[in-house]
Amino acid sequence: MKFFVDSAETEEIQAAKRLGLADGVTTNPTIILKSGRGFETVIREIAALIDGPVAAEPVCSSADEIIREGRLIASWAENVSVKIPLTRDGLEAVRVLSGEGISTTMTLIFSPAQALLAAKAGASFICPFVGRLDDVSHSGMDLIAEIVALFSNYPGIDTEVIVASVRGPAHVIESAMAGADGVTVPYTVLEQLMRHPLTDAGIEKFLSDWNKIAP
């Protein structure tokens, strides 16, 4: 399963890369805002850091604008994936951009119908949001299971399902069990995935006993 880093912080991306957990990176306007730096600067820097796709999201609403911005953003680096919300104009834009060989990531996906349309449009990746669905009392993981089952009926679909809005280790493990192609996770979740209280307790006990061994 692929691990994307949901971050625009270069230190976090580099740390994930050292762990072999930076198969790609996703950003959104909120993540770029948090970085405190400019959109183009951040995307160019991240794209140079990793080999995998870097999802970069322009903010525009008409298909023509999305296509224009998408072509520009895609010119910044070969591994940029233009991230586009699932709207009618977004679908039109993805059809055109993917037809030109530009990688696209359809985002803000909350239903199997939206996932299917994104695949039909030729999106390289889709990002269904599990945490935000859970927040409104719907099961985010049910959505992932439905999308994976639906895509598996059609071997011709090569759109990858990258689970987004991941809030903790359970979302990661359930995504893997559902057969998602990948997850995009905040760095804090990567750290949570590594830790177990019994591992910490075991290390503490071994260290304490090691210090008692006579030289």
- Active-site residue 205, yes or no? no
Confirm or reject binding of residue 165 to ligand E4P (CB under 6 A).
Answer: yes
Residue 26 Cβ vs ligand E4P, minimum distance, rounded to whole Å? 4
Confirm or reject binding of residue 168 to ligand E4P (CB under 6 A).
Answer: no
Within positions 66 to 95, which residues make up the interface with ligand E4P, using CB under 6 A?
none
Q: Is the separation of the CB atoms in 169 and 148 below 8 Å? A: no
Confirm or reject binding of residue 175 to ligand E4P (CB under 6 A).
Answer: no
Calpha distance 213→215 (Å, rounded): 6
Sole binder of ligand E4P in the list 129, 148, 175, 180 (CB under 6 A): 129
Calpha distance 111→40 (Å, rounded): 31
- Candidates 78, 28, 20; CA nearest to 53 is 78
Residue 112 Cβ vs ligand E4P, minimum distance, rounded to whole Å? 18
The Cβ-side half-sphere exposure at 71, using a 13 Å CA radius, reads 11
Calpha distance 88→165 (Å, rounded): 22
Residues tagged active-site: 83
Binding interface with ligand E4P (CB under 6 A): 6, 26, 28, 107, 127, 129, 131-132, 164-165, 184
